[in-house]
Amino acid sequence: MKILELKQITKSFGNVLANDRVDLEVEKGQIHCILGENGAGKTTLMKILFGLYALDRGSILLNGKPVTIQSPSKAIDLGIGMIHQNFMLVDRLSVAENIIAGCEPKKGMFLDLMKAKRDVENLSEEYGLRLDPEARVEDISVGEQQRVEILKVLYRNAHILILDEPTAVLTPQEVDDLFTILRKLKSDGKTIIFITHKLKETMAVSDQITVLRDGKREGTVKTSETNPHELAKMMVGRDVILRVEKKEKPPGKIIFQTRNLFATNPISHRRLKDINLTIREGEIVGIAGVEGNGQLELEEVLMGLRDIDKGEIVLNNINITKMSVAKRRELKMVHIPSDRLKRGLIRSQDVEKNLLLGLEWNRAFSRRGILSQSAIREYSHRVIDAFDIRCASSKEQVDSLSGGNQQKVIIGRELSRDPTIIIAAQPTRGIDIGAIEYIHRILLQMRDENRGILLISAELDELMSLCDRIGVIYEGEIIAEGSNFTYEELGLLMAGEKKERSQRVEEI
């Protein structure tokens, strides 16, 4: 039985058609995946369903009856709940308080906290969502916070749950737990709409899949009747090589090393503890870890963007510990920053000016401080061609490029500098499959050209297919390092489980 039907949903923002006559039919009691690349219109569609956006054209049928959903509260009344990508919780309040906020049980004019606690306990019992109702939200893990969000929706009697990219912040084990929960909810008769761009998850958890591309529905398929390859093709519109070919190749001499590196982030109070990294020529060294375990600090410390407490950084036998960012860059260290919008780009400037960033005093582009427009233009065109940056012209503002192309601007700028060491942090986060494939290829090419690469990533597939060695960072410490971890081992290590038998650092 169809519980929900979206018909010919159309929504545009200015000149951009975010949803173009999209149809969606969801069966009751199923897990339905909405699969698509970033910018395909998945979230827009769901925000329309949840009453956050008004639709331009089209209709929504709930249990066969047409409905208008003009606000989230209307959606909740109709039994539709949404679990957003960024949690909307009050850190200082308890789990129970967060769940009841907005529809609190009352005793007279007072809040009935005891009943709230009981309600939450019953609810978490019923759906097998283990939670301590009295714990403060700031003290629980991200996976548990997500459960709070789910309970919040269930508490409001939702029977259709929309989850927007729910796995982005989770460890592999937490993802498994989430899937168990979703299956339990399904067996209780709930209907789940699951938005994602990850093929593996789609295959693992869903019953049906609707693929969106460029705001249009590409097709709906039964999960049992499809495979990742076909889905990737539907998403991207062409054949995609999911696995990259990596040449066997012995690494060369050591070119980059950190010794007993300690650092503190005074704002988040995160620390780096005793980091010993070694990168050889022609080697990709991976750093795996759940975000927020010191990756940002590590990346910044290596580039000189953050002070260290003690330790040493050595590049090609030169001690660069005290060198400025500019000096390190002169020594051919380049950096693909994890926060590309904050660090990597000047969004209000055009592609040319962004490719020039850091090279504005280079003799090729500047004579006595006067910029040579023609040299810059010519160089930009070369980089745009070489790195396949899709832009209307080199004068196009970077802000109007897609995420993947913005990332290619950064990568093109950095990798065109003939680097010795490449610090690549989350280089494929939030970009489309086509661009990911491209970036993977170019990183391997850099490796084959005997450059050293440090790849900091949260994507295990990426690390396992690209890296020669992987270290796992947990709470600012590299807790394990080796070259043949399994997926499960990495997952456990990322969650902080130090295994006795894990290959402990082959320190030099």
Partner 1 sequence: MRKSNLINKIKQLIGFSDLVYSLVAIILALLMGALLIFLSGYDVTQAYLSFFDGAFGSFYNMGQTLLKMIPLIFTGLAVAVGFKSGLFNIGGEGQLYWGAFATAIVAIVFPDVNGVVLIPLSLFAGAMAGGVWGMIPGYLKAKTGAHEVVTTIMMNYIGILATTFLLRNYFKEPGPIDQTPLIPKAARLAELIPFTRLTWAIFLGIAIIILFDLFFKKTSLGYNLQAVGENAAAAEYAGINSKRMIVISMFLGGLAAGLAGSTMVLGVLHRFITNFSPGYGFVGIAVAVLGRNRPYGVLLSALLFGALEAGGISMQLFAKIPMDLMTIVQGLVILFVAAPSLIQIVYGPRKKRQILFDH
Give the residues lining the site for partner 1 (CB under 8 A).
13-16, 18, 36, 38-44, 165, 195, 197, 303, 305, 324-329, 335, 337, 342-349, 353, 356-358, 360-361, 365-366, 369-371, 373, 399, 403, 430
Q: What is the nearest approach in angstroms of partner 1 to the Cβ of residue 235?
A: 12
Q: How far is CA 159 from the centre of its chain?
A: 28
Half-sphere exposure of 21 (CA within 13 A, CB side): 1
Report the C-alpha gap between 240 and 237 in whole angstroms: 9
E strand or H helix that includes residue 339: none
Report the C-alpha gap between 72 and 52 in whole angstroms: 6
- 32 vs 42, beta carbon nearer partner 1: 42
Q: What is the nearest approach in angstroms of partner 1 to the Cβ of residue 502?
A: 34
- 327 vs 499, beta carbon nearer partner 1: 327
Q: What is the nearest approach in angstroms of partner 1 to the Cβ of residue 415?
A: 15
**What is the DSSP secondary-structure string of 261-305?**
EEEE-TTT--EEEEE--EEETTEEEEEE--TTSSHHHHHHHHHTS
- 44 vs 171, beta carbon nearer partner 1: 44
- 185 vs 425, beta carbon nearer partner 1: 425
- 131 vs 315, beta carbon nearer partner 1: 315
Report the C-alpha gap between 333 and 174 in whole angstroms: 36
- 340 vs 440, beta carbon nearer partner 1: 340
Which residue in 257, 278, 285, 251 sits closest to 467, CA to CA? 285
The strand pairing partners of 2, in sequence order, are: 27
Q: What is the nearest approach in angstroms of partner 1 to the Cβ of residue 75?
A: 18
Residue type, 211: V
Burial of 216 (0-12, 13-18, 19+ CB in 10 A): middle
Half-sphere exposure of 70 (CA within 13 A, CB side): 0
Q: What is the nearest approach in angstroms of partner 1 to the Cβ of residue 387?
A: 18
Q: What is the nearest approach in angstroms of partner 1 to the Cβ of residue 139?
A: 28
Which residue in 89, 78, 90, 11 sits closest to 43, CA to CA? 11
Half-sphere exposure of 105 (CA within 13 A, CB side): 14
Tokens representing 211? 């693929």
Q: What is the nearest approach in angstroms of partner 1 to the Cβ of residue 163?
A: 13
Report the C-alpha gap between 196 and 165 in whole angstroms: 5
- 94 vs 295, beta carbon nearer partner 1: 295
Q: What is the nearest approach in angstroms of partner 1 to the Cβ of residue 195?
A: 8
- 101 vs 325, beta carbon nearer partner 1: 325
For strand 16-27 and strand 2-13, is the pairing parallel, antiparallel, or unpaired? antiparallel
